[in-house]
A and B are shown apart, each in its own frame.
Chain A
Amino acid sequence: MIIEYAIYFAAFCFGSSLLMNLWKIVSAEGVGDRVLALDTMVINAIALMVLFGMWKGTEIYFEAAMLIAMLGFVSTVAYARFMLRGNIIE
Chain B
Amino acid sequence: MAEFFQYVVAASLVIAGIFGIVGSFGLIKLNDPMSRLHAPTKATTLGVGGVLIASMVHALMVEHHLSVHELLITIFLFLTAPITANFIAKAHIHRHCTAEDLPDPAPDARWAGLTEEEADTPDAQ
Contacts and interface: CB of A to CB of B under 8 A. Distances in A.
Interface in B14-42: 14, 16-18, 20-21, 23-25, 27-28, 33, 36-37, 40-41
Nearest to B47: A47
B17 A43 contact: no
Contact of A46 (B58, B73, B87): B73
Interface in A53-75: 53-54, 57, 59, 62-63, 65-66, 69-70, 73
B70 A62 contact: yes
A86 to B, nearest CB: 10
Contact of A3 (B6, B70, B84): B6
Interface residues of B, number: 53
Contacts of B24: 16-18, 20-21, 40, 44
Nearest to B113: A84
Interface of B: 6-7, 9-11, 13-14, 16-18, 20-21, 23-25, 27-28, 33, 36-37, 40-41, 44-45, 47-48, 51-52, 54-55, 58, 62-63, 67, 69-70, 72-73, 76-77, 80-81, 83-84, 87-88, 90-92, 94-96, 113
Interface of A: 2-3, 5-7, 9-14, 16-18, 20-21, 23-24, 30-33, 35-37, 39-40, 43-44, 46-47, 50-51, 53-54, 57, 59, 62-63, 65-66, 69-70, 73, 76-77, 80-81, 83-84
